[in-house]
Amino acid sequence: MVIMGFVSFKKQLVAILAVVLLFPYGLQAQFGFRDESEQKVAGEVSKIGQTLYNIDKYYLDTINFPNMTEEIVKMIIEKLDPHSAYISAKDVAAMNEPLVGNFNGIGVEFALINDTLTIQATVPGGPSEKVGIKAGDKIIAVDGETISGTNLTIERVHGYLRGPKGSKVAVSVLRRGEPELLDFVITRDKIPLNSVDASYELEPGYVYVKLSRFAATSYQEIMKAILAIDGPRKGIVLDLRGNGGGYLVAALQIANEFLGKGELLLYTEGRKVQRMSEYANGRGLLQNTPVVVLIDENSASASEIVSGALQDWDRGIIIGRRSFGKGLVQQQFNLLDGSQLRLTIARYHTPSGRVIQSPYEQGKAEDYYKAFYERYAKGETFSRDSIQLPDSLKYRTLRLGRTVYGGGGIMPDIFIPADTSHYTPFYGEIVRKGLITDFINSYVDNNRAQLARKYKSAEELEKSFVVTDKFFNEFLAYCKEKGVEPKENEIEISGPELKKYLKGFVLRNLFDFNSYLRYLNRDDREILKALEVLKEPAAI
């Protein structure tokens, strides 16, 4: 493959393109093209090179060649499948960060309250905790530059606080009870990005694990969470709802834990890629532990690999709604200027042979995603009967011979419709504008010390904290101030759900996400059904 980079274009173009791209036969000799297809590609590369060369040499006006090249590459990728992608050099780090599982920074969770960077929590053992930064502190200045009240954005905050490992950043902090700003010098370090959002026992022996993405550290995180539970493991609820995927190897590692030696995990094959099969190695620690996997319409890719493998081997029960349907494998190619291509090179198949990928046409990504959103309009989110799949997509599971389907996502064994009984336009606008988050951030910021004295643990807060009418009316007044007011009956419909989330966000803000999710999950229908199935398998 010939990869072109245009850094200092005028110097490189004449020196490289004129010599290489203008002479495709030179390319053949240099790179040893083996077949007619590769020779044709070399000719097309030469054509692009000639065009750019002649523009540079003869065109009337000055051209921004790096921008032109970016547009050419984007246009080419847009003609492919919906999941191939081009990532510019400046976006590579941000795109890879959630999957790599760490970044270099100061180790804080923050919120922007009244245009001020306010610390919500510090990472235990992280750089900020080590120097004495506390929840509730407000960072007013960074390296002598006042940042409070300057129309702060999250992107700007990242620019101030992130940087190379070992580099130092000076911050000036406003702390309640202190008459003057406090100055700290923080040494940046590697900060982990966990992919396990929450893990705890639903009941003694029944472990719940919420995985948000399949990152480089996901397998280790999941096993650590499960093995940390004392006593016998009676069952596992693996929550993959909203998990859009990630690294294939993480999915294979996790599925391997549940399956026996020699059992097929998946196989992949493509036009230029030979069939590759992956098998369980038989060393999994969870082979005899009952498991339920939760999925929904936003579970995709690696989530479908895990749920598909467990379903095909009749190893676990899948509960929820039909998953997204992304069964394409991407490989990453680094370009000379630091940008990347993520090209689809193969389709994956579940152990029974199912193709999970939803139908698509090359170059029509918009139609592909439109078809996904039309599932909602057709009632698929609310009724299993609205999902019509032809007999040609039927497959059989490998132990019990149960019917499963390919051709567009994983169909759950137990369908649970989406609950929208609390939804109103008022509720939707509150969520879209993040008003619950903003209101609770300010509330906890103003009352942190008092709340911390009153509630020593998340369990105590969950048991005793009440969203009173006064508190709720203050929230409604805040919403009105922000231009969002309920219409007739909307409070009656949405009020209980809003009160639940107000309390949940206090938990999250004062303690952690695990406490928040544990509270919300107490009346979650999918989780309650999963626990029922684990305790009484006949419940299916």
Residues forming the active site: 301, 312, 326
Going by DSSP bridges, is the β-strand pair 317-320/291-295 parallel, antiparallel, or unpaired?
parallel
Using DSSP, state whether 29 is helix, strand or coil. helix
Residue 121's H or E segment, with its range, is strand 116-122
Rounded to 5 degrees, φ, ψ at 180 are: -130, 165
Task: Give the pairing of strands 340-349 and 85-87.
Answer: antiparallel
Rounded CA separation 149/138 (Å): 12
Burial class (CB in 10 A: 0-12, 13-18, 19+), 54: exposed
* Spatial separation of the C-alpha atoms in residues 167 and 276, rounded to whole Å: 44
Distance CA 267, CA 308 (A): 12
On whether the CB atoms of residues 419 and 500 are closer than 8 A, the answer is no
Query: CB neighbours of 97 closer than 8 A, spacing ≥ 6?
Result: 103, 193
Residues in the chain: 540
Separation of alpha carbons 64 and 61, rounded Å: 10
Q: Which residues pair with 201 in a beta bridge?
A: 207
Q: Encode 368-397 in three state secondary structure.
A: HHHHHHHHHHCCCCCCHHHCCCCHHHEEEC
Parallel, antiparallel, or unpaired: how do β-strands 291-295 and 235-239 relate?
Answer: parallel
Q: What is the DSSP letter of 246?
A: B
Angle at the Cα of 42 from the Cα atoms of 41 and 46, rounded to 5 degrees: 115
